[in-house]
Chain A
Amino acid sequence: MASASSSSSGVTPEPIIAVTGLIKQFGKFAALRGVTADFAAGKLYAILGDNGAGKTTLLRTLAGLNHPTRGEVRILGSASIPEVCHHIGYMAHPSLLYDEMSVLENLRYFARLYGVTDDARCAAAITSVGLDPTLARPVGQYSQGMRQRASMARALLHDPKILLLDEPFSNVDIHSAHDMAALLGRTRDQGKTIFIVTHQAQLLEQVADEFVWMQAGRIVARTPKLTRPEPQ
């Protein structure tokens, strides 16, 4: 399932993420049953499917949080995700932030984990998602929309090449969701590769380059438009 995007010289560029025969089992439950796919750089992929299709497991495996039972994941040419993890930004439905700190304090701390000591970059990341860096209110008191945006700021903070977002629009009000989708489109335009797992595909209709359909632990289709493929 290689996506052949040829450059002007006619050579297929190296996929930024290459998944081969990925199988993930949790005891008797097989979450991923053999996923093989190449993903090109600089594109926004929307990963869709019913509950239990394996979307979250796939994303977590790409982030290095789940270890494959079998198969291989190569990111930026490396089979070892810890090697390239500073190029990856991850966001999930839980905020991955400390409720008791303000958004700037949170980002300052997480920035240290990536070797970023520049306060200005933290403030810039917060501003880019439409939040106020000077807001002293602890993140735990934010609305869900604001919290998701703060979480996105954390994921963007170290300027990663790859963004992995798991249900970023969940429980978010419609305006914030549209803003976030637009922001993600602009981020893709800056050259980042973005993977978004979502149940609200229509939010990404204008912005996604490709829709990846998953079912029962496999990728069943990849379409450029939001048209559900015929069931196999």
Chain B
Amino acid sequence: MTPPSGITLATLSKDLRLEWRSKDAINSMLFFALLVVVVFSFSFDPNAEESRHIAGGLIWVAFLFAAVVALNQTWAREVRNQVLDAYRVSPAPANSLFLAKALGNFIFVTILEAAMTPLFIVFYQLRSLGPAWQLLLVAAFGTWALVVNGTFFAAMSLRTRSREIMLPLLLFPISIPAILAMVQATTSILLGEGARFWIVLLFTYDLVFTSACLLLFETVLEAE
């Protein structure tokens, strides 16, 4: 019997391999991310000093939009030929599937963020006055916060009409404390102020909601 972690890894590597082959989703998402950054630059055009104050907010809103686009296609391949049925009739645990999808989304969104960040730095002439490694921590915790709930709500939206609008509708309200934390943490670090509270809050958010998702995913998957 394959251990659950084996199934998670197998599913994740399958998804990554399929994505690498077609590169459909990642290419369109990268281009979308670039467009978002450019539009933001036109809309919010500050001088260098102001930019540090608002960049935290801008960058995370841009990441949020890119994340929603990525999250909406989480289950697209599974839905196409009712592959989820094949998964459900097998002895494989539902949580293995969930973790694989969440990790896959985490990787995709991180790639998008890595592509968008240099553009933001260039357009807004950003320079961090605080320790930059903390920004990586914020990015990791913040991205996981969006992706773990996003994967869960994407599965929920499969059972609804208007699937694509349902995902952000459910995700945004629940994510508000995380978004506030991400934005405030990023701004604080860029300004050279401490962000410890926000990082701890993000970590707590991640713990709480990862547990909730793991507890409830099977129930949602089996709902019919």
Chain A residues close to B by CB (< 8 Å): 63-67, 82, 85-86, 88, 90, 92, 94-101, 109-110, 112-115, 117, 154
* Chain A, residue nearest B224 (CB): A66
Q: Are the CB atoms of B10 and A94 closer together than 8 Å?
A: no
Q: Are the CB atoms of B77 and A96 closer together than 8 Å?
A: no
Tell me which residues across on chain A come within 8 A of B160, comparing CB atoms.
Answer: none
Q: Are the CB atoms of A97 and B2 closer together than 8 Å?
A: no
Q: Are the CB atoms of B77 and A98 closer together than 8 Å?
A: yes
Tell me which residues across on chain A come within 8 A of B21, comparing CB atoms.
Answer: 100
Tell me which residues across on chain A come within 8 A of B22, comparing CB atoms.
Answer: 100
* Chain A, residue nearest B10 (CB): A112
Given contacts A66-B224, A154-B86, contact A96 B81 (CB under 8 A): yes
Per the bound structure, the CA–CA distance linking A98 and B83 in Å amounts to: 7
Per the bound structure, the CA–CA distance linking A156 and B91 in Å amounts to: 15
Per the bound structure, the CA–CA distance linking A94 and B78 in Å amounts to: 11
Per the bound structure, the CA–CA distance linking A218 and B2 in Å amounts to: 39
Q: 1/0 per position for B84-125, CB-CB distance to A under 8 A?
A: 011111111000000000000000000000000000000000
> How many A-B pairs with Cβ below 8 Å?
75
Interface centre among B11, B22, B77, B86 (most CB of A within 10 A): B86
Tell me which residues across on chain A come within 8 A of B85, comparing CB atoms.
Answer: 63, 65, 90, 92, 94, 96
Q: Are the CB atoms of B77 and A100 closer together than 8 Å?
A: yes
Q: Are the CB atoms of A94 and B81 closer together than 8 Å?
A: yes
> Smallest CB–CB gap between B160 and chain A, Å?
16
Residues in B178-203 with C-beta less than 8 Å from chain A = none
Per the bound structure, the CA–CA distance linking A109 and B224 in Å amounts to: 25
Q: Does B47 contact A (CB under 8 A)?
A: no
> Smallest CB–CB gap between B96 and chain A, Å?
9
Q: Are the CB atoms of B88 and A110 closer together than 8 Å?
A: no
Q: Are the CB atoms of A96 and B2 closer together than 8 Å?
A: no
Q: Are the CB atoms of B10 and A98 closer together than 8 Å?
A: no
Q: Could you name 27 residue pairs across A and B whose Cβ atoms are closer than 8 Å?
A: A63-B85, A64-B88, A65-B88, A66-B224, A67-B224, A85-B89, A85-B90, A86-B91, A94-B81, A94-B85, A96-B82, A97-B86, A98-B77, A98-B83, A99-B80, A99-B81, A100-B18, A100-B21, A109-B10, A109-B11, A110-B90, A112-B2, A112-B92, A113-B7, A113-B87, A114-B91, A115-B1
Seed contacts A64-B89, A92-B85, A97-B86; 12 additional CB < 8 Å A-B pairs = A65-B85, A65-B88, A67-B224, A88-B89, A90-B86, A92-B82, A98-B83, A99-B80, A100-B77, A112-B6, A113-B91, A154-B86
* Chain A, residue nearest B88 (CB): A65
Interface centre among B10, B21, B80, B89 (most CB of A within 10 A): B89
Per the bound structure, the CA–CA distance linking A66 and B224 in Å amounts to: 7
Tell me which residues across on chain A come within 8 A of B14, comparing CB atoms.
Answer: 98, 101, 109
Per the bound structure, the CA–CA distance linking A15 and B7 in Å amounts to: 33
Q: 1/0 per position for B1-30, CB-CB distance to A under 8 A?
A: 110001100110010001001100000000
CB contact between B2 and one of A66, A92, A115, A154 (< 8 Å): that residue: A115
Per the bound structure, the CA–CA distance linking A100 and B11 in Å amounts to: 14
Tell me which residues across on chain A come within 8 A of B90, comparing CB atoms.
Answer: 85-86, 110, 113-114
Tell me which residues across on chain B come within 8 A of A97, comparing CB atoms.
Answer: 81, 83, 86
Tell me which residues across on chain A come within 8 A of B18, comparing CB atoms.
Answer: 98, 100-101
